[in-house]
Amino acid sequence: MPTRSPSRTRAAVARSLPDLAAALAGRGDVALVPTMGALHDGHRALLRAARAAAPTVVMSLFVNPAQFGPGEDFARYPRDEGADVAIAEDEGADVVFAPDVATMYPPGFATTVDPGPLGDQLEGQARPGHFRGVATVVTRLFGLVRPQSAFFGDKDYQQLIIVRSAARDLALGVEVAGVPTVRDADGLALSSRNRYLSPAEREQATALPAALMTAGELYAAGERDGSRLTAAARARLPFEPDYLELRRRADLGAYDPADPAILLVAARIGTTRLIDNIPVEDA
């Protein structure tokens, strides 16, 4: 349980659209933090960044069925609304929007947002339709909450780029900001899914950040050959990744040694699919 600060103010928990409208009435600029709950320190970092950006912070709490494929972990995804609301309050959220599925997808809901070719690459190749589900729910959240800014983790970098593109292409009037990945002491990126890992799997999972760091160090030392960089990272993995790719950082286009780059990895460890990435930089 998070420590509750005595001065913490209560957040309004809105479940319906009228409740949300009432909770937002008369407020100024809003910063939105979309989440699926099971909050950890990564989510706290997003809430803090939002708190610094706008007088009103709204956190959404919705496990979005549209972004899970058949056979994925929608049914067993961890849910603990009481703990999540306490954390949101602890980080100064003013409103927690926690709709049910029928509120987000009422009868007759028919429109989806297609994120374009990037939606079928990297994560999208392993998870067909995932980014359509993400782009659709985030666009609807933007329409309901009307934020001026929204905060997403660099941890899910492809999601960040896709949401930022959707906001720009569809002129949604939201500035989409990325927040650096929060990691455990052993380097593993915090994720709600880490709780699925057995101790042995968790130990194995630390190979992901270690492999990324290896390539990052080579890059910092001047290596710019994409195949050599990815081969060095791959050699550190005791398992076969789903993908391990170097891409252009700005838009996840093809790697170009002249542009800032990012290395992205995904792997299945036991039954748990984990993703991670690091920006590669000059020393």
Q: Any contact of residue 124 with ligand AMP (CB under 6 A)?
A: no
Rg (CA), the chain: 19
Residue of 152, 196, 219, 255 interacting with ligand AMP (CB under 6 A) = 152
Contact 14, 98 (CB under 8 A): yes
Looking at the Cβ atoms of 130 and 247, the one nearer to ligand AMP is 130
Q: Which is nearer to ligand AMP, 56 or 277 (by Cβ)?
A: 277
At its nearest, how many Å lie between ligand AMP and the CB of residue 50? 11
- Name the minimum Å distance from CB 46 to ligand AMP: 5
Query: How many residues contact ligand AMP, by CB under 6 A?
Result: 17
DSSP assignment string, 135-190: HHHHHHHHHHH--SEEEEEGGGHHHHHHHHHHHHHTT---EEEEEPPPB-TTSPBP
229/221 Cα distance (integer angstroms): 11
Q: Which residues of 66-96 are buried (b: 16+ CB within 10 A; e: fewer)?
A: bbbeeeebeeebbeeeeebbbbbbbbbbbbb
Q: Which one of residues 30, 31, 32, 43 is an interface residue with ligand AMP (CB under 6 A)?
A: 43
Q: Select the residue interacting with ligand AMP from 90, 91, 94, 156 (CB under 6 A).
A: 156
- Answer yes or no: 43 catalytic: yes
- With vertex at residue 117, the alpha carbon angle to CA 212 and CA 263, rounded to the nearest 5 degrees, is 10
The least distance separating ligand AMP from the CB of residue 256, rounded to whole angstroms, comes to 25
- Name the nearest CA neighbour of 112 among 166, 52, 153: 166
Least distance in angstroms from the C-beta of 223 to ligand AMP: 27
Which residues in the 209-248 window bind ligand AMP by CB under 6 A? none
Nearer residue to ligand AMP within complex by CB, 132 or 226: 132
8 Å CB contact between 144 and 93: no
Closer residue to ligand AMP in complex, CB, 138/144: 138
Q: How many CA atoms lie less than 13 Å away from 201 in the CB half-sphere? A: 14
Nearer to ligand AMP, 202 or 229 (CB): 202
- Kindly identify the residues of this chain, within the stretch 179-198, that bind ligand AMP according to CB under 6 A: 179, 181-182, 189-192
- Measure the CA–CA gap between 8 and 169, rounded to whole angstroms: 38
Catalytic residue of the set 11, 24, 42, 43: 43
Residues with active-site annotation: 43
The site for ligand AMP (CB under 6 A) is made up of 35-36, 42-43, 45-46, 152-153, 155-156, 179, 181-182, 189-192
